[in-house]
Structures are given as C-alpha cells and as structure tokens.
Amino acid sequence: MNLTSLAEWSDDEILAILDRAESFARDPNGHRDLLADRIVCTAFFEPSTRTRLSFEAAAHRLGAHVIGFSDATATSSAKGETLRDSARILGGYADALVLRHPTKGAAKEAAAAAGIPLINAGDGDGEHPTQTLVDLFTIRRECGRIDGITVAVVGDLRYGRTVHSLIPALQRFGANVVQVPAPGLELPESMGKVPSVSLAEAAQTADVLYVTRVQKERFDDPDGYAAAQGALVVDAALLAESKAIVLHPLPRVDEVDEDVDLLPAAKYFDQARNGVPVRMAVLATLLENHS
Ligand code: NCD
C-alpha cells in the first residue's frame, strides 16, 4: 500500500487515519514498540522543515529508525542516477520511503520501483497528500466536522500542491470550497469549477481561510511572481468581524500578518503540530500492512 495520492484511498481509509491520529495525539508517548526496529527512509530532493521533521519525529515516537537525506546534491542523483534507480536502492535498505521531489508524478514513478510502501511528501506542483490529512484532521478538530463547512483557499492556487490535494478531499467529505486566487494564480481547470470570491467576502462567509504562500520556486517568469507576491494579506483588521479560523500549511512569507498569531482564529501552529500524530498514523498503517 502506498500514499501517492488520496484519490487512491477510500473514504473509510482516510477516516481511519484521522481517528488513529486522534488516539496518537492523546497519548504520543505510549506507542514506542509499535514499529520497533523498522526503518523509515526520508528522501528529500526539495527543501522542507515541517514535513520531513514531523515524519522523522513520528517514526521515532513509534520506535522506528530513520535514515535519509535532505540535500540531494550530496547523493548519487548529482552523478546522474535516475529517480527509479535511487528508489529501487532505497527500497532495499528501508521498510518505508518518504519522498519529496520537484517533479510532478515523481512519487508514482518511484513507487513502482521501490517495492516498499512509498509516501508522497510533495511532488512538484502535483500533490501533498499527508498535508491534506493534517489539514482534514485540523479542520475536523477545530470545526467539529467537515461536511457542510465552507473553506476558502487563498493565494497561489495554480502551483500550490497543498490545495491541489486538499480540494478534492474536502469536496468528497461534503465541504464547500471557494477560491481567492492571487493575481494570475487561479486553480487549474483540472480542479473543476470552484467559485471565486474576494478576500473580504471570504473572511465574512467562510468557516476556514486556508492561506498559501506564492510558490516562488515554480515560476519561470519573475514578473509573474512579482505581480502575485504580497497581493493578498490576511491581517487582524480583515478578521475583525469574521468567524473563520485561519489555516496555512506554512512556511508563510507575508500573506498572514504576524498580528493574526495573537487571535484565537490562528490555528496554523496547531496545524503544524498535528503533523506528528497524523504522520504516526500514516506510518503505522502502511507499515503494519507490509511485513
Ligand atoms: C508546503 C509544501 O511543501 O508544499 N509546505 C509544507 O509541506 N507544509 C507548502 C509550501 O511550501 O508553501
């Protein structure tokens, strides 16, 4: 079993992860033997703080060992090794492979070669399924449900892989989604018809503002980045009359003002912390089903 895209998982499989993550969140120290002496490999070909380190913390909390790299220039990919070959090699060393890569589709390609459970930790502007599980977990905790709520996705909706994974998952579980794109960065057509609203309207009508950074590293054209960067900012004044909570996969640049951090609506640091129990649930589930 792999986690390359949540589209391949049933509703029940997703809900089982969220429920299991709740039990890990309640008792994070009580499961040190669950994956004792299993080996998790984190192979990160792109920068990461939260995703890699929350996976590593999750593995350690379950008693697993961790190997891996976060600087691909120090690996054989710098000598020209293909991703398929690297994945096949790592599949011979570890029991699960957590992969982040700049190319969309990389996770599916590597999964076929690895022969061990593979988890997509972000593939270019493609998907980021474990972030979506963290987001669903946080929304369910903070709003009490997913069904029937309205989520406004804000910012770089063109290149942001977090929203590309999150939107179909929200729709499956009955949430309404609206978009507030930064200039020129609307959702791709493949996401279907998602109504556009202004940021002010979203703040007044949504239950969740899901804010994202402009993905500087994905632009071929520096003018496109300059036109979008800084165009949408969520600050305390915008939220004055709002009932919405604010989520952000992080890192933020300047799209959520630091004055929001002091408001009860700010849930993005809780969201980041939820990364550990949710990834514990993912690792436990995938590794238990693979001896
Ligand atoms: C996101 C990513 O890598 O896609 N970060 C994360 O995993 N929390 C969002 C981003 O980089 O903007």
Distance CA(110)–CA(140), nearest Å, equals 32
Tens of pLDDT, residue by residue over 171-221, are 999 999 999 999 999 999 999 999 999 999 999 999 999 999 999 999 999
Ligand 1 lined by 130 (C-beta under 6 Å): no
Q: How far is the centre of ligand 1, averaged over its atoms, from the C-alpha of 282 (Å)?
A: 18
Residues near 47 by Cβ (< 8 Å), separated by ≥ 6? Answer: 70
Rounded mean pLDDT of 46-62? Answer: 97
Question: What are the structure tokens assigned to 142, written together?
Answer: 């903070």
Whether the pLDDT of residue 291 is over 70: the answer is no
The answer to whether the pTM exceeds 0.75 is: yes
Q: Which residues are catalytic?
A: 50-51, 79, 100, 128
| For the CA of 213, the nearest atom of ligand 1 | 12
Instruction: State both tokens at 5.
Output: 């895209």
Report CA(161)–ligand 1 centroid distance (Å): 8
* Ligand 1 centroid, distance to 151 Cα (angstroms): 18
| d(C-alpha 251, C-alpha 269), whole Å | 11
- Which 3 state secondary structure label does DSSP give 261? helix
For residues 123-151, average pLDDT: 98
Closest C-alpha residue for ligand 1 atom 11: 251
Ligand 1 touching residue 247 (CB < 6 A): no
The answer to whether the CB of 272 is under 6 A from ligand 1 is: no
What's the chain's average pLDDT? 97
Q: Say yes or no: CB of residue 213 within 6 Å of ligand 1.
A: yes
Find how far residue 173's CA is from the centre of its chain.
Answer: 17
Classify residue 198 by its DSSP letter. Answer: -
Q: What is the DSSP-derived secondary structure letter of residue 182?
A: P
Give residue 153 CA to ligand 1 midpoint distance, Å.
Answer: 14
DSSP 150: E
Q: Ligand 1: distance of its center to the CA of 33 in Å?
A: 30
pLDDT in tens, 166-185: 999 999 999 999 999 999 99
How is residue 125 written in tokens?
A: 């502007």
Q: CA 278, 279, 284: angle at the middle one, nearest 5?
A: 105
Residue 227 Cα distances to 212, 216, 242, 250, angstroms: 16, 11, 27, 21
Determine if ligand 1 sits within 6 Å of the CB of residue 54.
Answer: no
Indicate the helix (H) or strand (E) that contains 80.
none
Ligand 1 pocket test, candidate residues 128, 134, 166, 247, most atoms within 8 A of CB? 128
DSSP secondary structure string for all residues of 16-74: HHHHHHHHHHH-TTS-TTTTTT-EEEEEESS--SHHHHHHHHHHHHTT-EEEEES-GGG
Q: Would the CB of 277 count as within 6 Å of ligand 1? A: no
Three-class SS state of 158: coil
State which ligand 1 atom lies nearest to the alpha carbon of 212.
12
Please report the pLDDT score of residue 260 as a whole number. Answer: 98
Contacts of 250 (CB under 8 A, 6+ apart): 50, 268, 271, 272
Place of tokens 């990919």: 77
